[in-house]
A and B are shown apart, each in its own frame.
Chain A
Amino acid sequence: MKILVPVKRVVDYNVKVRVKSDNSGVDIANVKMSMNPFDEIAVEEAVRLKEKGLATEVIAVSCGVAQCQETLRTAMAIGADRGILVETPADLDLQPLAVAKLLKALVDKEQPGLIILGKQAIDDDCNQTGQMLAALADLPQATFASKVEIVDGKAQVTREIDGGLETLAVSLPAVVTTDLRLNEPRYVTLPNIMKAKKKQLDTFKPEDLGVDVAPRIKTLKVAEPAKRSAGIKVPDVATLVDKLKNVAKVI
């Protein structure tokens, strides 16, 4: 069984982004970029399934600018066997529906038994791509996974839902999206980074896959959120209780 792992290059989670002064977007020039943390968990899970002998090949895919190659190399350093870049122009606003269509084309081509990807990207916070891919490819989905087991040719997935956990069994092929508690990705070692440089990386254009990637949503404006001003420090619990009762009147 092949596992396809889509990964996204995003602003590193430690960077506090700034809104551009012309309100056209956030400034990501010269900002550290990394693999979306949820996708890193997805790569780790796929590699673990391969290490357990449940998968034969792990293929990392990234859609976006040429620099996404670096993200794919990171995935290969974690243990993905090869990478596929679907390269799009730097000035294109690539949106989840278009990514899902590109991934659907690659699913048709590669015929994976499982597709594992992050539940959401930490830049646009959309939480859409996995579900959209599942719909387009007519596959079952198990989102927000905290545990994945392959049992009797099915994926048994524990999901994080409001109020607790639930377990689903989905037939394969299936789409699984990862939540934070699924695993802790390994540290990438230098020898593995060196090895990853030699792994196969193929590049396609959206036209090669016959996919229209034109955006459907126009961003009219990006603004700073309303600032919350810092309040006061109180010296002790008694003052705190007094403030809550008599100033804020919330208790």
Chain B
Amino acid sequence: MLFRILDNPGRTNPFWRDFDRFNEEITKSILDSQFGNLRSFPPVNIFSKEEEALVSALLPGMEIENIDISIKDNHLTIHGKKKTEDLAEGTEVHRREIFSGDFTRTIELPFRVNQEKVQAKYTNGVLNILLPRREEDKPKKITINFE
């Protein structure tokens, strides 16, 4: 996960926040070592209308040229490389929680997509992809004529 969710905002005491964070970190590392990385990056939201779908992904700190979007039928794949900061020699790292490296995520869409007309926008670290439905995939209305 990109960030942790503090499910209990009532926990104002920083000790408990730290404790939650610590607890989650341990659970995560155990899960990772047992089952490989279960976290799917980036987190996405999918919305759909009759004729188009919208996929939003939280991808902070990317360069546009490092984001690769590909579509095949009703599958959207977001692939990219998240660079680490260039650190000068002698820099001490106190914390490194931000994900870096390669990532790939494939999302199943509710319908097949017209690849030619896909639009993507990247603002403030949020990637929004608008995917129009393929013409032949659109629902067709059939009028019934009474005799």
**B and A form one assembly:** no
Chain B positions near chain A (C-beta within 8 angstroms)? none
